[in-house]
């Protein structure tokens, strides 16, 4: 018998869960959907069966592992399966303050639910306008983002493009595995909610996690080909009174965003910045950053001097688009030959992060299982989710696994074939020590 997929919908109060449900369930989706709702009386839809439940979270022992589960789901879903009108899909809406951990664990720990249902994915709605009110101090808010397979940034019409980009970068740095969707009025296609495969081992890592570059103090890097001489740097009014900038010659044929050059720029960045007022000169290749003073109104023009011909990188503290920054050569705009944006390392300090580790070389199965069981024993409550594809010594096939807190599920997958053999492991959690995890994983090499 095919298992019935379950989608869990989380998000703070006001993030748009109800709107999303109303919208999607009223559509003609042709599926029989049951909704288990935890905030009262908000939806009443003909196309779906809506059941109210009180979240009943309790701790249970599962062998040597202790975890929390949702007792109400066990009972309600068990009873739903006795009905003639069987369902194609179940949606579980959590309360705004809920930790998604217990819901997810319920589907792995309870005998009946494990047999009848499969957890398809966790969808978290984020109120783009107001999430920053909670993101810094609410552990539930962070957990909801960290657990998600799909993150819907809702109410995008209420924030600027820049704010939205900042938010997207921030949530991606917390959870690199989630697919991020942008929405107004909670409008997302129902397909995005109903076939996620977030816990499906066949699809583990099907989409590569979006790991960000190492964090740099600048948000943008542009590569320019320039002749010796004087250019003009023009900025219009923007959101900040100053902006730091590094202009340096690139060592190689690489572009400004490449690792070596960006690292080089970051070293310059750490020097004390020299201030520059509009009209003043910026020397390309200077040993320190320049702090552009931008408090005057209207266009601000700086002289950008190139002592020689070459390939240069401009590194800016904020995005050029915020100031309509341009490099002009005799009044004609010079386009960067390439550009790259970076996660803004200076803007936040989140305890919840994603750590991805890539290892060449074969893994020793015994050492790996020792390491993982030790890790889960010590850090299981702080590791929300993990996924991986492993290159195990002595096996012709990929080993795929995924876990929620201390619950762990893995098996052999298809043969490697011509695919290059390597291991990829992703953790999402609280207070993760990237170096320690990397070292631990490296010790598992055969």
Partner 1 sequence: MGDYVSALEVAPDGGVCIAGLGDGQVVGFDLSTGEEGFTIAAAHAGSVLGVSISPDGRYFATCGQDEVAKVWSAEGALVRELRGGGSAWVEHVAWAPAGGRIATAAGKKLCVWMPDGERIVETEPLASTVTALAWRSDGSGLAATCYGGVHILPFVAGAKMRHLAWKGSLISLAWSPDAKVIACGNQDSSVHFWRLKSGQDSQMSGYRFKPKALAWDSESKLLATSGDADVTVWDFRGKGPEGTQPLQLEGHKSLCTRLAFSPRRAVLASGSQDRSVLLWEPRKHGKPIGFAVLEDEVTGLCWHPEHHTLVGADASGTICSWEVA
Name the residues that contact partner 1, by CB under 8 A. 51-52, 54, 56, 58, 60-62, 69, 71-72, 74-76, 79-85, 110-111
> What's the closest the beta carbon of residue 241 comes to partner 1, in angstroms?
56
Q: Kindly tell me which of 111 and 137 has the beta carbon lying closer to partner 1.
A: 111
> How many whole angstroms separate alpha carbon 156 and alpha carbon 168?
11
Using CA atoms, how far residue 296 sits from 274, 316, 322, 328, in Å, is 18, 19, 16, 20
| Structure tokens that stand for 18 in this block | 């109800």
Percent helix / strand / coil, the chain, rounded to 5: 25, 35, 40
Q: Kindly tell me which of 85 and 137 has the beta carbon lying closer to partner 1.
A: 85
> What's the closest the beta carbon of residue 48 comes to partner 1, in angstroms?
14
Q: Kindly tell me which of 69 and 389 has the beta carbon lying closer to partner 1.
A: 69
Using CA atoms, how far residue 406 sits from 68, 111, 327, 385, 429, in Å, is 11, 17, 53, 9, 12
Q: Which neighbouring-strand residues pair with 293?
A: 242
> What's the closest the beta carbon of residue 59 comes to partner 1, in angstroms?
8
Q: Kindly tell me which of 116 and 150 has the beta carbon lying closer to partner 1.
A: 116
> What's the closest the beta carbon of residue 409 comes to partner 1, in angstroms?
17
> How many whole angstroms separate alpha carbon 145 and alpha carbon 138?
11
> What's the closest the beta carbon of residue 109 comes to partner 1, in angstroms?
9
DSSP 73: H
Q: Kindly tell me which of 46 and 85 has the beta carbon lying closer to partner 1.
A: 85
Pairing between β-strand 338-341 and β-strand 274-276 as defined by DSSP bridges: unpaired
Q: Residue 440: how many CB atoms within 10 A of its CB?
A: 17
> How many whole angstroms separate alpha carbon 70 and alpha carbon 106?
6
Q: Kindly tell me which of 54 and 137 has the beta carbon lying closer to partner 1.
A: 54
> How many whole angstroms separate alpha carbon 414 and alpha carbon 403?
20
> What's the closest the beta carbon of residue 239 comes to partner 1, in angstroms?
49
Q: Kindly tell me which of 2 and 82 has the beta carbon lying closer to partner 1.
A: 82
> What's the closest the beta carbon of residue 382 comes to partner 1, in angstroms?
23
Determine the angle formed by the axes of helices 161-174 and 139-147, rounding to 10 degrees. Answer: 80
| Structure tokens that stand for 233 in this block | 């740097």
> What's the closest the beta carbon of residue 65 comes to partner 1, in angstroms?
11
Q: Residue 326: how many CB atoms within 10 A of its CB?
A: 17
> How many whole angstroms separate alpha carbon 167 and alpha carbon 153?
9
Pairing between β-strand 150-154 and β-strand 179-182 as defined by DSSP bridges: parallel
> What's the closest the beta carbon of residue 97 comes to partner 1, in angstroms?
18
Pairing between β-strand 338-341 and β-strand 57-62 as defined by DSSP bridges: unpaired
> What's the closest the beta carbon of residue 208 comes to partner 1, in angstroms?
38
* Contact present, 437 and 424 (Cβ < 8 Å): no
Q: Kindly tell me which of 72 and 99 has the beta carbon lying closer to partner 1.
A: 72
Instruction: State the first-to-last Cα distance of the chain, in angstroms, to the nearest integer.
Output: 40
> What's the closest the beta carbon of residue 68 comes to partner 1, in angstroms?
11
Q: Kindly tell me which of 2 and 84 has the beta carbon lying closer to partner 1.
A: 84
Q: Kindly tell me which of 110 and 127 has the beta carbon lying closer to partner 1.
A: 110
> How many whole angstroms separate alpha carbon 160 and alpha carbon 242?
20
Residues 6+ apart with CB under 8 A from 239: 162, 318, 322
> How many whole angstroms separate alpha carbon 315 and alpha carbon 270?
13
Q: Kindly tell me which of 111 and 435 has the beta carbon lying closer to partner 1.
A: 111
């Amino acid at each position: 018998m095919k298992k019935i997929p379950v989608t869990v919908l989380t998000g703070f109060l006001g993030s748009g869960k109800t709107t999303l449900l109303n919208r999607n369930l009223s559509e003609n989706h042709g599926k029989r959907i049951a909704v288990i709702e935890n905030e009262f009386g908000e939806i009443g839809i003909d196309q779906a069966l809506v059941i109210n439940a009180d979240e009943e979270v309790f701790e249970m022992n599962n062998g040597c592992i202790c975890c929390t589960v949702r007792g109400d789901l066990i009972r309600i879903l068990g009873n739903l399966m006795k009905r003639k009108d069987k369902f194609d899909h179940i949606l579980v809406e959590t309360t705004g303050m809920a930790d998604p951990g217990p819901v997810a664990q319920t589907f792995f720990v309870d005998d009946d639910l494990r047999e009848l249902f499969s957890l398809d994915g966790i969808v978290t709605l984020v109120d783009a306008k107001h999430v920053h009110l909670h993101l810094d101090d609410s552990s539930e808010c962070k957990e909801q983002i960290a657990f998600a397979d799909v993150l819907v940034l809702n109410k995008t019409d209420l924030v600027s493009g820049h704010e939205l980009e900042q938010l997207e970068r921030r949530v991606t740095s917390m959870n690199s595995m989630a697919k991020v969707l942008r929405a107004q009025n909670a409008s997302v296609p129902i397909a995005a909610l109903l076939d996620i495969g977030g816990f499906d081992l066949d699809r583990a890592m099907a989409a590569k996690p979006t790991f960000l570059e190492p964090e740099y103090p600048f948000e943008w890097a542009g590569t320019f080909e320039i002749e010796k001489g004087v250019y003009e740097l023009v900025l219009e009014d923007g959101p900040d009174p100053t902006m730091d900038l590094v202009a340096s010659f690139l060592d190689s044929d690489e572009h400004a965003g490449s690792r070596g050059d960006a690292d080089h720029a970051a070293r310059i960045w750490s020097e004390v910045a020299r201030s520059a007022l509009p009209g003043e000169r910026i020397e390309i290749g200077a040993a320190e950053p320049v702090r552009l003073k931008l408090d005057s109104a209207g266009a601000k023009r700086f002289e950008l001097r190139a002592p020689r011909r070459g390939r240069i990188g401009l590194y800016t503290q904020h995005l050029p688009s915020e100031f309509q920054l341009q490099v002009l050569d005799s009044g004609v705009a010079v386009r960067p030959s390439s550009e790259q944006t970076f996660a803004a390392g200076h803007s936040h300090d989140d305890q919840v992060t994603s750590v991805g580790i890539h290892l060449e070389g074969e893994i020793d199965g015994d050492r790996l299982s020792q390491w993982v069981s030790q890790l889960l024993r010590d850090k299981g409550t702080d590791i929300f989710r993990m996924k991986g594809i492993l290159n195990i010594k002595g096996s012709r096939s990929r080993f795929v696994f995924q876990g929620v807190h201390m619950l762990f599920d893995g098996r052999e997958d298809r043969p490697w074939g011509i695919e290059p053999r390597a291991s990829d492991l992703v953790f999402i959690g609280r207070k993760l020590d990237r170096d320690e995890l990397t070292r631990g994983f490296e010790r598992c090499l055969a």
